[in-house]
Structure 1
């Protein structure tokens, strides 16, 4: 389903635009389960938005009865994000000795995905819910230094522990399965075919334990071929961001007062990009990431879809 025209009162938009949006949320009493977790890469993190993100915009619309967590980390591919989320865990090939506490041990050959034994590379641009992590039930911290990974236990013990070969590293994020999850992955690979991509998304959803999800495909590489299997399986739980950005987004920006309604927009450059299936340049900060207006629209789009799905 394409985004339906959704009008908010002008005063609400003024409030949203006047607030310096961050992803910090005050602790207040809220109904159990009113949690929204946004999982993805730099597009989820909000790169280029000068503090405005999909998460911060939707958080303002939902109000303080909801806890919105932005778990976007720049540069990560689907397998590294899956390692953080828990649907596609990561593991250490070697058996290593964990000292009693306070000492980090190098993981000799790095971290690998259980999906296809590919190397995964977390912690390059952010934690994103990895720590504390758990190995064989032992609470640990995973760190990256000079391209190598180290792990150390954070609980005290009277003896060292030797891990089993191929031990899984379970993240903190992997334990967060309540509420609603937005899965916004795929811009950075790592999948070989549309069905491979769908299978990985299925593992994210399976790990969550229910289908209270919204799946967003990229405005850059969300081709018809890639998106079709996801649309067929998940229906209205899927947002085709490429279609929305190349057809409707610029007009919504004008209708909402995010861009002036004086004939200036869409620009000729905007229209040229849209005619070729791309997001209009007026909503982009660089080749991939949105500016604050683009993220405002993305946050509103996702909020409206949650209403349509009965999530909030």
Structure 2
């Protein structure tokens, strides 16, 4: 070992500097990367260009990179396949041609969580491609007409490659574990009960390799029973979005001057929805997706949580 050859005083200095590089409050000190993983609520559907990602980016100080990895319509298992915590695989053996031509995947893509089909690439990639089959860089595609999947190698080779059955597809996003990850999942299902959702989140976190995370539970799906086990496990790292949107969001919108303070808001319909633990209609584009005001609030809320956790 090279370290053994170093003088003792230099070795001590290296160890001391290493210790000092860790903040006593466990604040994140790595690369300034923030990755937002989830469905259309991460992507920003309905916000007309305003997303949680770009709102938080405006508030961050320093040279931050914020990656929006939201894809509409995906459930927890499909998102988990992209993120890498719940890998996806090809059930059958296939031969990837040496010349770069596409080969159809006969029976689709499967989740390692329950060995059932999942359906990525319906509304976007979100960091899925390039993907890797046993180290071979590939591109996974979906035919929107036939709903069939195909894969091709990105660089030609002298030989074709035949996979074994149940070969994993490693996504680009699954390799991006540095930085802070916000996981906003659950609106589109994919789990059977609160404990199942927690178990999937645990696999997301285990794959990331650290707990530099923020978890956001859906404002439209689930209830306090869904949130309870996640809160017990992750505590302050959780944002209970249903609670925030039904209790405080509309008043924050007025305080931040995103809505006029003229007693027009909250409307009577907003108050009725809030009494039912629902998001005020004033903050929504449709039944689930936020408008620009709703996403502005979400971005500020996430920024506040990250600051509270010492991430920035």
TM-score, with length taken from structure 1: 0.89
1:293 corresponding residue in structure 2: 293
| Structure 2 CA distance for aligned equivalents of residues 63 and 122 of structure 1 | 34
Secondary structure of 1:147's match? coil
Secondary structure of 1:306's match? helix
Tell me, which stretches of 5 or more residues in structure 1 are unaligned? 1-30
Pairwise CA distance, 1:33: 1.1
Secondary structure of 2:214's match? strand
1:37 corresponding residue in structure 2: 35
Pairwise CA distance, 1:101: 3.0
1:257 corresponding residue in structure 2: 257
Pairwise CA distance, 1:32: 5.7
2:165 corresponding residue in structure 1: 165
| Structure 2 CA distance for aligned equivalents of residues 167 and 209 of structure 1 | 23
1:114 corresponding residue in structure 2: 112
- Residue 137 (str. 1) matches residue 135 (str. 2): yes
- Residue 66 (str. 1) matches residue 47 (str. 2): no
1:88 corresponding residue in structure 2: 86
Pairwise CA distance, 1:102: 2.1
TM-score, with length taken from structure 2: 0.89
Pairwise CA distance, 1:63: 4.2
CA contact (8 A) 1:58 1:303 kept: yes
1:59-115 deviation digits (Å, cap 9, x = unpaired)? 111145100000000000000000000000000010000101320000000000000
CA contact (8 A) 1:217 1:239 kept: yes
Pairwise CA distance, 1:221: 1.4
1:9 corresponding residue in structure 2: none
1:128-184 deviation digits (Å, cap 9, x = unpaired)? 001110001111110001300000111221010101110000000000000000000
Secondary structure of 1:257's match? coil
| Structure 1 CA distance for aligned equivalents of residues 129 and 61 of structure 2 | 28
What count of residue pairs does the alignment treat as equivalent? Answer: 282
Tell me, which stretches of 5 or more residues in structure 2 are unaligned? 1-28
